Every structure is written in C-alpha cells, then in structure tokens.
Amino acid sequence: MMTARRNRALFLAASVALAHCAANHSGLLPAAHNDGGSYVHAGLQSHAIIGFSVDTPKRAETAARQGINTTILYGGSPAPGSALEKALEAHGISVIDAGISGILFYWECHRTHTVKPPPSSYRYNPYCRTDENPRIDSQNVVLRDVAQLLARDANRPYVVGHWVLDDWAWWDPGSGRRLLQKIHAEIEATTPGLPAICGFGAGVAKPGRVNWDPGTGANYSNGGCDIVGWYNYSPFGRKRPSNGKSLDWRMTALLPAMRRTLEKQGWNIAQTPLYGIGQAWGGSYDKKYYQPGLTRGEMLRQAKAFCDFGATYIGWYAWDDSGDNPRTETPNNSSIITAGIAAGITACKAVWGSWKGSRYQSIAAPRTPLESPCSAGTMRRSTGSEKTYGRISRGTLA
C-alpha cells in the first residue's frame, strides 16, 4: 500500500511535524501548509496499529482504549468538523481512506457482468450478484472518480493513506494491475507522501493446508502498491458454531505461499512493507452463519505470526460490518476479542523491538510513507455479495 519519490514534500512534512512534537502527543499532528497553501499530511506511523471501520464516535473511543491509532474507512474520510472527525482526532486515530478500493470493486463488478462473466458452471455471479454501480464502466470513469476523491483528501490532513485494493474476482486475475499503477501515479501527484495499500485475502485453514489462490496476487506490482496488506480469516459459510481450535492460526504454510506468489510479481518485503490483518469477529453473523473462532490465544497466535513473518503494521477487521448481528462477537462487545487485540499488540511490539539494526530497519526508503517524527521510530459498506475469503467491504465517495 503506498509511496517517495517526493523528497521535497517529505522533507517539508518532517520539518513541520518536528516543530510540533513537543506540543502534540496524540499521534495526529496538527495541520500544516506548504508554500502553495495545500495541506501537508503527518504520514502513517512506522508501526501503526490499524483497525477497520472505526466509523462512529463511540467506536473511536472503544478502539482507542484498545490501542488502535489508525482506521481504514470504506465510507471515505470523514468531513472536517464532523462528529466522527472530531472523535477520531480527540482519540489520536488517523484515517486511511478506502474509497478507492470501493471504486475498483464497482469497476470489477461491472466487468464480471459484461466482458468477464464467471465460468458457466456457476448459477450466479459469486463476486457480485448484480452490476452494483454500472456508471463505473471504464477505466476513465474510475480515474475520474479517484481524482475527485484525492482532491478531497488532499485538504484533510488526518488522512494518512489510501486502501486501494481488496476482493477481486478469482476468474479475472491481474485485470486491475495496470489500472492500479495509474491510480498510484494520481496518488503521488495529488496526495504526495501517502501510501497506496493493496490488500490480498486468504483463508486460515487446518494445519498443512493452504487456502490461497495464487491468481489473487496477479494485481500486485511495485508500481501500484507501497504497502501489502494480507487479510486472512477462518472459513466462511459455516452453519454450526465452531471455536476454530482445529485451524492453524499461525498460518505456517499459508504465509510462505502468499510470499512466494507476490515475490514472483516483484514484491520485496524490505522495500514494500507488510501489514498483517487479523480476524476480530466470531460466532453468529448475518442471518444463519457462524464464523469459526475466536479466542484470545487464536488472536495472539495470528498477530504474532504476522509480525514474526516481517509485518511492519498490524491490525484487525473489524469494528463494523453489515453482516454483524446482535450476537456477533466484535471488538465493541467482546472482552475476549479486546484481550486478543491487546495480546497481539504486545507481541508485535516485542518483535519490532528486536529488529533494531536488522534489514527491516531499512524500509524507511523511497518506497515507504513518511514516518511521524514524534513517534521516535515507532511508527464498505458491506454488500450481500459473497466473497471468497474476506468480509472486506466497499465504500463510496463522501
């Protein structure tokens, strides 16, 4: 997920941020302007703790207590002065705008109902049952909508990155690769210093098994992604409760398989950092399903596995999802999940502390986002569409 290449802007942002460090310890730096009058963004923290869909003031309060300092919002970044923006700022939570991934979802959804339908063996389109936004019917429309989103975010200093990719139709591998590179160029031009984060989903399976489609990685390129996010969850569609104890939450075979796939596309974890996304919901969801898990130990094993594997950022999905029902266990209502988040954060901080002087200290290089000088080196709206691995959701422009 996102990107250098603009030394002047980075130097200016660092200088401004350092001037404010003594007065501000919230993790969100005050807004600053460059000589042209546009905002300079504080940048993603070097070891950000990222939670998906912290999308109400109450959830902001909850997530902050749990150690979250950054959130990914599918509905787009909140408007300046809104209740959500004020709450996030008050609790030191910065924003990664996921609106671009929503635009790309609608484009791919349109493709699967026009030029790239699913195999004939399917009775329906498992990616999206209907063409959810037929207006987004070309790359030109995608880029125009992206430009509008970026122009808005350029004036919102609490935005520290862009989540640009997640779920993709498995029978259409690589079709977004070139478009993501064009989007990346727009991000660099309009919101310099903010990373483009590309998400790839897989399944947590039983020991020795790998629930990962290598075709999923075909959208990756060094020119399109500044950070790679792996969101790995237990199996979907179960109709009976399961505590997930039979699953390999350390992802022993899965993580190397994902790495091999992306390395074939040019990925280097030392240059394009990894963001590990763990599962933070379990039990009953939607109307008739059960999500396997979740215990503190399972969450700890998953988070530590990501960080042991080299993840620079850690986080969880999600504080909100349209599939949640009153019985779904989430970070908002489960002391077990809260304890799992705390254990995962502690484990990852211990891993990161052991990296001093290692190769992972070199990732603050041209391809990485601006680090917050104050940190001292620490740095979709869901639809009913069925998804192969994730409950990652889509958002629209605010």
Alpha-carbon distance 115 to 109, whole Å? 10
Please name the residue that has the structure tokens 């300079």.
40
Largest interatomic CA distance in the chain: 62
3-state SS, residue 326: coil
What's residue 42's pLDDT?
Answer: 67
| More confident position, 218 or 6 | 218
pLDDT in tens, 48-58: 999 999 999 99
pTM: 0.83
Q: Are 326 and 256 in contact (CB under 8 A)?
A: no
What's residue 41's pLDDT?
Answer: 64
Give me the helices (H) in 66-176, please.
83-90, 99-112, 139-153
pLDDT in tens, 320-368: 999 999 999 999 999 999 999 999 999 999 999 999 765 444 332 333 3
Please name the residue that has the structure tokens 């003031």.
57
Determine the average pLDDT of the residues in 11-18.
28
Q: Are 272 and 328 in contact (CB under 8 A)?
A: no
Q: What is the pLDDT of the chain when averaged over all its residues? A: 84
pLDDT at 33 over 80: no
Amino acid (one-letter) located at 258: M
Alpha-carbon distance 371 to 21, whole Å? 13
What's residue 357's pLDDT?
Answer: 60
What's residue 66's pLDDT?
Answer: 98
pLDDT in tens, 163-218: 999 999 999 999 999 999 999 999 999 999 999 999 999 999 999 999 999 999 99
Q: Are 381 and 322 in contact (CB under 8 A)?
A: yes
Amino acid (one-letter) located at 246: S
What is the architecture of the domain spanning 7-375?
Alpha-Beta Barrel (3.20)
What's residue 356's pLDDT?
Answer: 77
**63-93: buried (b, 16+ CB within 10 Å) or exposed (e) per residue?**
bbebbbbbbbbbbbbbeeeeebbebbbebbb
Amino acid (one-letter) located at 257: A
